[in-house]
Each structure stands twice: as structure tokens, then as C-alpha cells.
Chain A
Amino acid sequence: KNQVEQSPQSLIILEGKNCTLQCNYTVSPFSNLRWYKQDTGRGPVSLTIMTFSENTKSNGRYTATLDADTKQSSLHITASQLSDSASYICVVSAYGNNRLAFGKGNQVVVIP
């Protein structure tokens, strides 16, 4: 079983609408959690990184939340734009090793 589970697997939203992506993880001991955006055929680019003590972090129209007690994170996209169409990958790092646990990604398609 993957240590990082993301939902929904794919999502279609209208331009201008908001959406929320979910990430549940079992990685322990927890070090940090990152959300990456990956455009088709390109490498992932970091959006946010959060450590144990951080609950919310924003990057423009992207807002990530973290509940380290329940081991859940979410990524909220506000006022979506066509350029937000991409795969959003949740990545969790365990403390003390070089392992990154990757989710399969949330595939978001924004339509006009």
C-alpha cells in the first residue's frame, strides 16, 4: 500500500471556480510535506512545503493545509485558471533518511 494516497484521482472544474485536493499519508516519523505541480511532460515544480508545526501555507491562489495529528493535507485552488490544468503531487518526507514518498497525483483539468 502506498504511503501517500491522494483524492480525487482526477477532477474537471470550470474556469474561475475553486477546488480542493486531498492527501492522506502514513509516513513516520514525519519531516515535511510538499505539494508539487506537474504540467504534462514536464518535471514537478514545488508549490508549498510545510513542516510539523505549520497548519496553513499559501502561494498565490494555492493554499495548503496540514493536520499532522490526522496525517492529512489539502491543497485549495482559488479562482482556477486554465493554466492550473496539471497534476498535483503530494510528497511526504520522513525524518532521518533520503526517502520521499510520492502520491499518484491529482489530475486537474480546468475548462473554459
Chain B
Amino acid sequence: ETGVTQTPRHLVMGMTNKKSLKCEQHLGHNAMYWYKQSAKKPLELMFVYNFKEQTENNSVPSRFSPECPNSSHLFLHLHTLQPEDSALYLCASSQDPLRGTEAFFGQGTRLTVV
């Protein structure tokens, strides 16, 4: 257990569906992240939140909509996804994003878009 919990672990959705991924961290960290991991590619940073404020959007399509109600919770709302969006979505948290402190990852949500 890394202290970062993601739900659901697996999700299959149609292209017209709307679903949400949830991430919760119990580490008292200030920063939370969403990453996308596709097969045979490095992890791709999607969004960064620091003290609940979005500090980075790495040119992510609008069909992915993040929400950070507080420093412990992070959501990723999904709508009208494409099959190429199928991937492992990882949430992470860290204490201080500006100092490159260690990131702790959740177990990930394996998303399949059909």
C-alpha cells in the first residue's frame, strides 16, 4: 500500500458513456497528479494540482476533465472517449512538486473504451 487509492481498478465504457475515476491519498501531500500509461510508452503527465489548484494541463483533450475538491481527493471525469484512450490511468501524490519530491502512485485504473 502506497497510501494512494484509486477506484475503480478496472473500467470498460462505451464511447458515449460518462464515467469518473477517483483517487484519494492519505499521506498529507499537497500535490496530486494524473498520468496516462499506454503500452510501450513512458508515463505521460496529464494534470497537476497543487493545493487544490490546477497548475498544469499537458494539452489534454477536453473529453478528460479533472476535479480536485481538496488536497486529498482527485477525480478524472470521462466523456465521449475514443478507443485510443484505452490505457492505465495512474494517480500520484507528492509533498512538494517544485522540489521534485518522491511521487507515490496508486494502483491505477485499467480503462478500456469500446
- Contacts from A to B (Cβ < 8 Å): 2, 4, 31-32, 34, 36, 41-46, 49, 89, 91, 93-100, 102-105
Contact = CB atoms under 8 A, between A and B. Distances in A.
Contacts of A43: 2, 4, 6, 90, 92, 105-108
Contacts, number: 58
Contacts of B106: 43
B107 A98 contact: no
Given A45-B2, A98-B98, A4 B42 contact: yes
Nearest to A101: B42
B102 A98 contact: no
B21 interface: no
Contact of B100 (A2, A95, A104): A95
A2 B31 CA distance: 24
Interface stretch (B12-20, B43-51, B59-67, B68-76): B43-51
B48 A44 contact: no
Given A34-B102, A43-B90, A43-B107, A99 B42 contact: no
